[in-house]
Structure 1
C-alpha cells in the first residue's frame, strides 16, 4: 500500500502521522492538582441507621445499671422473676416512648416539601386539571364539563357536599 503523502518517502509519511497524532497533544482540561473530596455524602438509609445507633447507645449508657440485674440478687422463685421481667419491660417502654427509627417507618415526620395535591373529577373520579368557575366543580374533560353545565343546582351542591367543599350562604 502506498503512503498517503505526495512524496513517496517513508520519513515524510511518518512525520505527518506524528503531527496528526491526537494522543501526543497535552490535555489541559484536567487540573493536575485536583483531588477527590474527602467528605462522603450519606444516603437517607445511612443517616437513619446512624441516628438509630446513636439513640440506642444513649439508652444503654443511661440505664445500664437499672436494666441489668445484679448477679448476687437473683430472685428465689419464678413469680419474683416474672415480676422483675415485667418491671424491666415497663422501664424499657418508658425509656423509648417513640417508634424506632427505620428506613420505612410509617410514623415519620411529614415531608418539608410536599408534592402538589392532585385534584380529581367530582363526577368521574379521574384526574381533574380543570375547575368550572360557575359551579366550582372539578372536571376531567369537555364531555364532563357539558354534563356539569346541564345539571341543576341541587345536583351541583350534592357533588360539592360530597367533596366537602359545600358552602352555605346566609
Structure 2
C-alpha cells in the first residue's frame, strides 16, 4: 500500500539523492600514494603525505605532474 502512495517531488526519500551538504570537510589524499595528505606543494599543486613523496615530486617532469593533476580533476596546469 505504501509503495503506491504519491509523495511530493521535493520530499526526500530513501531513493533520492537530495541531502544537505556535509559539515565535515572533504578528505584529501596524496596524488602519488593515495595516503591521507596533510601537505600540498604550492608550486605544482600536488598533494603529498611525507618528505619522501615531496622529494620525488621535485624531480618529476611537468607532463607527469599535469597527468596527476588531471586525474584529480585539477584544471590549472603547471
TM-score (norm 2): 0.75
Task: Tell me the equivalent position of 2:25.
Answer: 116
Which segments of 5 or more consecutive residues in structure 1 lack a partner in the other structure? 1-55, 57-88
**TM superposition outliers: structure 1 runs of 4+ over 6 Å:** none
Max Rg structure: 1
2:7 corresponds, among 96, 104, 108, to: 96
Matched, 1:154 2:71: no
Higher helix proportion (structure 1 or 2)? 1
Aligned length: 76
* Cα RMSD for the two superposed structures: 3.0
| Residues 108/165 of structure 1: CA separation in 2 closer, same or farther (3 Å cut) | closer
Taking CA–CA contacts closer than 8 Å with sequence separation of 6 or more, which of the two structures ends up with the larger relative contact order?
2
Matched, 1:137 2:37: no
| Residues 106/141 of structure 1: CA separation in 2 closer, same or farther (3 Å cut) | farther
TM-score (norm 1): 0.38
1:127 corresponds, among 19, 36, 57, to: 36
